[in-house]
Amino acid sequence: MRRPAISFALASILPLGSAALAAPKISVSLEPSSAPVNRPGRMVVFLVNSDSGLDEKTAPIDGPFWESEQPIFGMDFDSLLPDREIVIDAGADGYPGNVGALKRGKYRAQACAIVRREDSNWKRVSGNLYSERGDLEIDADGNGSVRLKLDRLTQAPDRKSVDGVDWFATPSTLLSDFRGEPVELRAGVVFPLEYDPSKKYRAIYFVPGFGGDDLDAARFAIERASSTGPARDLAKQTFLIVLNPEGPNGHTLFADSANNGPCAKALTTELIPALEKEFPLIAKPEARILRGHSSGGWSTIWLALTEPNTFGVAWSSSPDPVDFRKFQVVNIYDEDNFYTAPTKTESGALMCEDRPSFRELDRTTGKARNVMTIRREAMQEDVLGPDNTSGQQWDSWFAVFGPRNAAGHPAALFDPATGVIDHAVAEKYRAFDIGAMVRADPDRYLPLLRYNVRIMVGDSDSFFLNEAVSLLKEDVDHLVAAKEQPSQTGWSDEAPAGHPPPPEGYIKVLPGYDHGTIFQSPEIRAIDREMLDYLKDLDSPHK
């Protein structure tokens, strides 16, 4: 479905000192004293226009920028040699166009060579290369040049000693066999306040959102140490275990998948048993609490529904799409294009409008403004990593929910150039469509939702995730109402094993909150108290 990956024309790899080509020229080379890079990779050049509105201190390699569309270019390479430069020319992938389309002006430029993809963020992986910033000025004739030297290496972040935190890692046989290389499962283990080694504790398993990892445990440890009220009481009674959801394709969502391998199975059969062997944890499902936001929010719902013999209750906020009839704003089954939606003008004329992917909520007026389209986000990912290999948001969803393509990469749900949906791929997504699962098998999933799962989302979620949550809520409410009719036999309302009545799960759509401001809501702030009530209930006589 995707255009073939671009291979270098001879004109694109030149000996240093060769004559410059006409039009803009962006050349990238290794530091002359560097050793050759004898492995394939992806060269990416980021530009920031001087009138972008972005802070002058903003590094171009921090792009792409949601709030400001800036040029980005990419080319594959087989190897890098110190005496050869790579020229980003009209043959390179580019967004919003190729280098020949650059507008007159001044740009800050920076390049990276991605040779190792083990994480959604190439800067967190040791061994990738990048350059210092350079300056590119395009004149009135469209000419300009900049040379960038790859003289810096990325280093994986250190897991430095933090009071009250243990950086835990254990090898994964399951994922090592799947990937064909050694894989470790990691977690940041935050100890209870006033820790008593003679006691056994329950654990809150926290799944970070997209871009987060186990290093978030350091921040949580600081927050716990200074907490008050219910948050402090909860911190005294529980371990907080921050999981690392990262992989070569980005966030794995802790779901077993064709592209990422047995991530859920590795969590439940390798990491958790290893943690419970190392730390004084109560090894019972009801003693394992799930909490997550965004991608982590989806993970907690998924694990609560599909791994009830491992986990008890879950608190999820602003989860990734839980019903694929609203994958952000698109029905992947019934619609034909991710990028555009037919709309009518006031005169009744039919036009196509680009679909949004990200919006900002004006906190003064309460109105939302669309900032980024799905087209821009997906096409920028395609420059970062061709054939769905960027590890960014859309490509990570492709990796979790979809099959592999002929090249062994995640199959695209939609064409990156046109947005046309591949409905054969979309059908494969049904296995991960939580709403579809509940409708198809309410006897299995509805009791778990009613008793074990709490979901919250703002009605102005920045990524339109409220749309899918609202559909799930409608289905659950309808199924519950149907069950309450005397003539209905439908699904079973029996509580899951080990869980006392009455049902305490809920799905709430909170007015006036977006993806970030939801943390200021009374409902989110009540989670600590709700968790304490749950722990108290576990200790009650009926247990």
Domain boundaries, the chain: 10-153, 165-324+433-538, 327-431
In this model, does residue 29 exceed pLDDT 70?
A: yes
The pLDDT value given to residue 305: 98
Position 106, amino acid:
K
pLDDT of residue 351: 80
Mean pLDDT, to the nearest integer, of 376-389? 98
- Which contiguous run of DSSP H or E holds residue 436? helix 434-440
- Band (pLDDT 50/70/90 cuts) for residue 11 is very low
Question: For residue 88, what pLDDT is reported?
Answer: 94
| Distance between CA atoms of residues 405 and 426, nearest Å | 13
Whole-number CA gyration radius for the chain? 25
242: phi then psi, degrees, rounded to nearest 5 = -95, 115
Per DSSP, the three-state class of 400 is: helix
* Residue 306 host element (H or E): helix 295-306
Find the Cα–Cα–Cα–Cα dihedral 9, 12, 13, 15, rounded to 10°: 130
pTM of the full predicted structure?
0.92
Longest pairwise C-alpha distance within the chain: 85
The per-residue pLDDT for 369 is: 93
66-77 pLDDT, tens digit each: 989 999 999 999
CA distance 423 to 1: 12
Q: What is the band of 197 on the pLDDT scale with cuts at 50, 70, 90?
A: very high
- In tens, the pLDDT along 160-175 reads 999 999 999 999 999 9
- Share above pLDDT 70 across residues of the chain, in percent, rounded to a whole number: 92
pLDDT at 348 over 50: yes
- CB burial string 434-468: b at 16+ within 10 A, e below: bbbbbbeebeebbbbbbbbbbbbbbbbbbbbbbbb
Give the Cα separation of 207 and 272 in Å (integer). Answer: 14
What's domain 165-324+433-538's architecture?
A: 3-Layer(aba) Sandwich (3.40)
pLDDT bucket at 22, cuts 50 / 70 / 90 = low
| Residue 32, pLDDT score | 85
Give, in degrees to the nearest 5, the angle at Cα 233 between 230 and 237. 135
Buried b (16+ CB within 10 A) or exposed e, 404-420: ebeeebbbbbbbbeebb
pLDDT tens, position by position, 463-494 = 999 999 999 999 999 999 887 664 444 444 55
Of 77-81, 284-288, 500-504, the range with the lowest mean pLDDT is: 500-504
- The CA distance from 500 to 150, in Å, is 60
Q: Compute the average pLDDT of residues 272-297.
A: 99
Cβ count within 10 A of residue 292: 30
Residue 495: what pLDDT? 55
**Average predicted confidence (pLDDT) for the chain:** 92
**What are φ and ψ of residue 255, in 5° steps?**
-115, 140
Question: In the predicted model, is pLDDT for residue 245 greater than 60?
Answer: yes
Percentage above 90 pLDDT, the chain: 84
DSSP, res 307: -
Q: Which two tokens stand for residue 220?
A: 């949580």
User: Is residue 183 over pLDDT 80?
Assistant: yes
Which pLDDT band holds residue 542 (cuts at 50, 70, 90)?
A: low
Least confident of 205-219, 350-364, 408-422: 350-364
Tokens 């062997």 sit at which residue? 277
